[in-house]
Amino acid sequence: MTTPVPDVLPHMDAVQDALETAGLTVYLGGTPGGNWAPPDKFCVLHPDPGQAVRSSLADDRTGLDALMQVTCVGSDVVRALWVAGKVRQALAVPLVVEGRSCWPAEDLGGPPVQRDDDVNPPVFFVPVQYRICSTPA
């Protein structure tokens, strides 16, 4: 029996679920835009497609290695950092993905908090990257 090539989508769903379970408002890939009024704190999940990585010398690519950027946003610096702390806590335990054994997410950090003056009122944000890895269960 062959193990299927891993899919990033269930991992993305697991990250989103972990963040929402931590009480965070999560948007996928961007904010709604238009006449949308942002909450005072939220996060935006930006997943990459990941890589199917070799699990053995037989070249069976059943491992997954993916980056998930979580942009932590707040109406001030403190709120943006509060979101970053909640994200860090939520991703400190292994994700639950059916049929997979997940490692705890590796916190790769990010730049200092920045101010976005392109929106009114301005918001503060900090993008933090996490490495997500899993193997077949």
Tokens of 60: 């069976």
List pLDDT tens digits, range 86-128: 999 999 999 999 999 999 999 999 999 999 998 888 999 999 9
Residue 94 lies in a domain: yes
Show Cβ contacts of residue 85 under 8 Å, excluding neighbours closer than 6 positions. none
AA identity, residue 73: V
Give φ, ψ of 75 to 5 degrees. -75, -10
CATH assignment at residue 116? 3.30.2000.30
- Work out whether strand 114-116 and strand 63-74 pair parallel, antiparallel, or are unpaired: unpaired
Residue 127 lies in a domain: yes
Domain span at residue 80 reads 8-136
Please say if the pLDDT value at position 58 is more than 80.
no
pLDDT at site 36: 76
This prediction has a pTM of 0.92
| pLDDT above 90 as % of the chain | 78
Query: Could you give the number of structural domains in the chain?
Result: 1
Is 26 within 8 Å of 16 (Cβ atoms)?
yes
